Structure 1
Amino acid sequence: MGTEATADDGAASDAPDAYDALLDRVRRWNTLGSAAGVLGWDQQVMMPEGGTPARSKQLSTISSIRHDMITDEETGDLLDELNDADLTDEQAAVVREVRRDYERADAVPVELVEEISEAGSEALQAWEEAKAEDDFESFAPHLEKHVELKREYAEHIDPDRDPYEVLFEEFEPCLSMERAESILEELRETLVPMIDAIRESDRELAVDTFEGHFPEDDQEALAHDALELLDYDFDRGRLDVSSHPFTSGNQFDCRVTTRFDESDPLGAVGSTVHEYGHAQYNLGLPQEHWATPLGESRDLSVHESQSRLWENHVGRSRAFWEEFLPVFQEHFPDTTDATVEDAYEAFNQVYEDNLIRVEADELTYHLHIIVRFEIERDLIRGDLAVEDVPETWNDKYEEYLGIRPESDGEGCLQDIHWSHGNFGYFPTYSLGSVMAAQLYATAEAEIDDLEASIAEGDFDDLHDWLGENVHRHGSRYETNELVTRATGEEFSADAFLAYVEEKYGELYDL
């Protein structure tokens, strides 16, 4: 249920001078951060391998300058001056977001910020090499360094709290760690027996529909056509290839990457549509508020809700394949005998032996997340040594998923996140999936015959609904309020659990 914004949405014309001065500072440091984002994108997509030493210095310098700008005494003075100011709701939201960033940044020495940034650039190259060579030992010192630095970072912010909780707030500051853990527990309690029941089911899906050889060039052309179908704005974006799919940018320039496996074209479709969801969110943010909290996304749980909504509720639907299957078959004529139902079943099968998170099915995906969450939480809390990560990872995969990696490349080295020092990121994937189901259920109830529109390749109504209820608000509302305004209900796992029980119950005759 979309909620209309209040009457002061445009921000009052008589903004306090301190507010205007603060906003000017915010725009400057966020513009600098945006430039760093382009350098980060280039490092993963275009930069020659030998560029790492210079790039690490470039990024660490930008990080330290931006940190100095945020923590400058004038920033604190302006925030103090605005404590009792008569602000509109929008202005108050901006001050709230800036104050949170300022207080966290002000607690951390700039030297530590530089060290973390430089360590991340060096670790990225080490991770890429270690993954390619299946050599965790070569990456372990970089991971150890990140763990030490991030513990120190968390201690500066709040020495009396769980350091992992402090780091989780970097990615989701508006939901408590307790709430996140309770949702992950709900998912585990529901999905583990559901997956067991599916594996015991006699129902056989059309899982061999897309077996064969699918050349990378043809898959890249298919990924481009998928983005065209979804109405990705190539005037403000581009498609590239990276070792780990990601999206980078803002409402004026937002770029997506994907990757290809010549035996698995559906994997590329899924990752491309997933990254499209991220990009569509960024591109839908208000242009007039660029580089301010009102023009920035509402943190990673909401961001992941957009990518998972497009990937799972649209990309994995029968309706989507009504329109997309002929496009797929144009690129791969050997699949011309496949039906929409074949494609739907192949894209929604629950795997028995998948080790890779980004290639996981919609259900086991969350067990992949829980493994990572538990390991990184224990690393940061000091309950797990870096040298024990591979064995612990493999043991948890065997316990939760019934499979055991045979190499670290397909095990604990498969994700890029720890090379960036991004501890606390992984839970947002599952939180985003849960949120996606709640948002999509409401959109489906409010949009006349949404499924028929998708089957015709018409996504305008869904774009408009998400733009109105999520994108245009930027970071004005905190997470739960944003979801409540959009759906009429507080954020919960109810819609997601109902969705998977209905969908997979029908697929597997449960």
Structure 2
Amino acid sequence: MTDHLTELKMRLGEVSDLRSASALLAWDQMVMMPPAGATVRAFRQATLERVAHERFTEDRIGELVSELDGLESSLPYDSDDASLIRVTRRDWEKARRIPAELAARLTQTASEAMEAWVAARAANDYAAFRPWLDRQLELKQEYIACFGPTADPYDHLLDDFERGTSTTEVSAIFARLKEVLVPLIEEVNAAGHGGGLGGGPFPEEGQRLVGLAAMTAFGFEPESFRLDTTVHPFCSSFAISDIRVTTRYQEDDLESLFSCMHEIGHGLYERGVSPSLERTPLAHGCFSGLHESQSRLWENIVGRSLPFCRWLHPQLVATFPEALGGFSVEQFHRAVNRVEPSFIRVDADEVTYGMHIILRFELERELIAGTLSTADLPDAWNTRFEEYLGLQVPEDRLGVLQDVHWSCGYFGYFPTYQLGNVMSVQIWEAAQAALPGLEEQFEQGDFSALGAWLRENLYSLGRKLTPKETLERVAGGPLDPEPYLRYLQGKHGVGVTA
């Protein structure tokens, strides 16, 4: 039986190597590759995906997992080996339903469509991108057809990013959030908005240094991380010790600072996975909702807190004396927590952000169900955006074209952003209960206790448990929107009704 486990780990390690190489090519395409390389790059990625898919779905993987049933049952449920056997079985059974040729086409189309999206966004030309969106939706229908019937076809897409969570469950949580957020945003718009940080200037090099200072305090290590610029900020992990963080800069705002704190949250999760899980299917964060909980925890709960602002404020003033010399700590804290509806999701405040996600979730479901066409998508987006956020979208670049996800075929991903917001507060409350005095430590620039607690209780687990099992272990209960709504009430002084 030990020989079977050794062989399984060897085979899974090779699949991990192939997928890591593919991820590196995807990172390079977004960060370093000259535009003319896009066509050939799409073929390279398709080939790697096809080979990795074929290797993972071989009969021998299934045979090995079956032969290891006895070992799995003899070990603790959350042990490395029992978890590896269980998760591999589940992933293998799902992947076997997808032909390797379809997996390759999905990857190639994502690579090609992403380049088309970059050009369409820059030109504000939805018509140029629409054929690629149609193609992605066709492929998603092929993908859904690989599986059996379910209550909602969207379930199969959501399961890729939030294993074991149904569309019905997400809809119920979002209905509760919508019940509170829509009228709250109307109240905010009626009352007006507080002052922001002004228009700078915030020179790019200064932003880079301040972003690095914040990330380093959180746990950024030059030996394991690097920071680059890209069109749409993201974080990639090629190994537990090889994490790539990206951001983007504009000299009239400081959004890059919060982008850095957001992406390092993802990176810290990947960096904190137990080294014993490397080169296995377990060596990543536990699906997208929990991953997003960490980016939002570090960006918002920590990064927009008054204690953090007290620590960072002197560095900001020293770096940008012309723009911020007249801002007190309290003024800076109010400015970075200002609630004001805006067009761009990644720049949205904590209160309005949720409606950006709920809008996308609703539109995705309608596109997949066929009740909304891509021809009508911009009008549907603009109408609902005004209904939810009170703003008229002036151009598609600020509306339907702003996110990269649909070009990459990431249908089912968007809802996990808001699920992550909900989870982040549940996890933060658990950390506070375990670690009294955290905020006093933040004021001194010490985030080590929180980081260590998260590594021990969440990050180290990787994908050993399902999202629901992981949240239950870390936060002591199931997904619950009420702590998140109480958090908004306490921080922003708004009413949340039961």
TM-score norm. by structure 2 comes to 0.95
State the partner residue of 1:281: 269
Residue ranges of structure 2 left out of the alignment (5+ in a row): none
Q: Distance in 2 between matches of 1:182 and 1:306?
A: 23
Q: Distance in 2 between matches of 1:369 and 1:146?
A: 20
Name the aligned partner's letter for residue 359 of structure 1. Answer: D
Write out per-residue CA displacement over residues 276-331 of structure 1, whole angstroms, 9 at most, x where no aligned residue.
10000111111121122443211111100110000110011001111111111121
Name the aligned partner's letter for residue 7 of structure 2. Answer: A
Name the aligned partner's letter for residue 327 of structure 2. Answer: A
Cα gap change, 1:55 to 1:458, in 2 (>3 Å): same
The alpha-carbon deviation at position 490 of structure 1 amounts to 2.3
State the partner residue of 2:333: 344
Q: Distance in 2 between matches of 1:100 and 1:381?
A: 27
State the partner residue of 1:9: none
Cα gap change, 1:16 to 1:176, in 2 (>3 Å): farther
Q: Distance in 1 between matches of 2:217 and 2:455?
A: 18
Q: Distance in 2 between matches of 1:378 and 1:357?
A: 20
The alpha-carbon deviation at position 161 of structure 1 amounts to 5.2
Write out per-residue CA displacement over residues 114-146 of structure 1, whole angstroms, 9 at most, x where no aligned residue.
111111111011000000000011111111000
Deviates more, 1:359-368 or 1:149-158: 149-158
State the partner residue of 2:210: 222
Q: Distance in 2 between matches of 1:161 and 1:20?
A: 39
Name the aligned partner's letter for residue 274 of structure 1. Answer: H
Name the aligned partner's letter for residue 186 of structure 1. Answer: R
Paired residue for 1:141, among 131, 145, 148? Answer: 131
1:486 is aligned to 2:484: no
Name the aligned partner's letter for residue 164 of structure 2. Answer: C
Partners of 1:293 and 1:474 within 8 A in 2: no
Q: Distance in 2 between matches of 1:161 and 1:122?
A: 32
Paired residue for 1:403, among 361, 370, 391? Answer: 391
Q: Distance in 1 between matches of 2:281 and 2:106?
A: 24
Partners of 1:165 and 1:177 within 8 A in 2: yes
Deviates more, 1:342-351 or 1:483-492: 483-492
Paired residue for 1:181, among 171, 194, 207? Answer: 171
Paired residue for 1:237, among 205, 218, 225? Answer: 225
1:430 is aligned to 2:430: no
Q: Distance in 2 between matches of 1:185 and 1:155?
A: 28
The alpha-carbon deviation at position 39 of structure 1 amounts to 0.7
Paired residue for 2:288, among 283, 293, 300? Answer: 300
1:29 is aligned to 2:15: yes
- Please give the residue correspondences for 1:14-53 in structure 2 after superposition, counting only pairs within 5 Å: 16-53=2-39
State the partner residue of 2:430: 442
1:157 is aligned to 2:143: no
Partners of 1:321 and 1:340 within 8 A in 2: yes
1:98 is aligned to 2:85: no
What secondary structure sits across from 1:386 in the alignment?
Answer: coil
Deviates more, 1:122-131 or 1:171-180: 171-180
Q: Distance in 2 between matches of 1:464 and 1:300?
A: 21
1:111 is aligned to 2:97: no
The alpha-carbon deviation at position 92 of structure 1 amounts to 2.7
Partners of 1:320 and 1:455 within 8 A in 2: yes
Aligned length: 490
The alpha-carbon deviation at position 21 of structure 1 amounts to 2.1
State the partner residue of 1:11: none
The alpha-carbon deviation at position 477 of structure 1 amounts to 1.8
1:255 is aligned to 2:244: yes
What secondary structure sits across from 1:387 in the alignment?
Answer: coil
Partners of 2:184 and 2:494 within 8 A in 1: no
Paired residue for 1:246, among 223, 234, 237? Answer: 234
Q: Distance in 2 between matches of 1:298 and 1:247?
A: 15
TM-score norm. by structure 1 comes to 0.93
Q: Distance in 1 between matches of 2:332 and 2:141?
A: 46
Partners of 2:185 and 2:389 within 8 A in 1: no
Q: Distance in 2 between matches of 1:169 and 1:21?
A: 28
1:369 is aligned to 2:357: yes
Partners of 1:158 and 1:166 within 8 A in 2: no
Partners of 2:427 and 2:475 within 8 A in 1: yes
State the partner residue of 2:49: 63
What secondary structure sits across from 1:418 in the alignment?
Answer: coil
- Please give the residue correspondences for 1:180-219 in structure 2 after superposition, counting only pairs within 5 Å: 180-201=170-191, 205=194, 207-219=195-207
Aligned residues with identical type, % of pairs = 38
The alpha-carbon deviation at position 413 of structure 1 amounts to 0.5
Q: Distance in 2 between matches of 1:496 and 1:479?
A: 18
The alpha-carbon deviation at position 96 of structure 1 amounts to 2.1
Residue ranges of structure 1 left out of the alignment (5+ in a row): 1-14
State the partner residue of 1:316: 304
Q: Distance in 2 between matches of 1:431 and 1:61?
A: 33
Paired residue for 1:127, among 117, 128, 131? Answer: 117
Partners of 1:134 and 1:408 within 8 A in 2: yes
1:457 is aligned to 2:457: no
What secondary structure sits across from 1:240 in the alignment?
Answer: strand
Write out per-residue CA displacement over residues 335-357 of structure 1, whole angstroms, 9 at most, x where no aligned residue.
122111111111111114x1000
How large is the RMSD of aligned CA atoms in angstroms? 1.7
Partners of 2:488 and 2:494 within 8 A in 1: no
The alpha-carbon deviation at position 158 of structure 1 amounts to 2.5
The alpha-carbon deviation at position 506 of structure 1 amounts to 7.0
Partners of 2:233 and 2:259 within 8 A in 1: yes
Q: Distance in 1 between matches of 2:198 and 2:162?
A: 38
The alpha-carbon deviation at position 159 of structure 1 amounts to 4.5
State the partner residue of 2:492: 504
Name the aligned partner's letter for residue 80 of structure 1. Answer: S
The alpha-carbon deviation at position 175 of structure 1 amounts to 2.2
Q: Distance in 2 between matches of 1:312 and 1:152?
A: 38
Partners of 2:16 and 2:281 within 8 A in 1: no
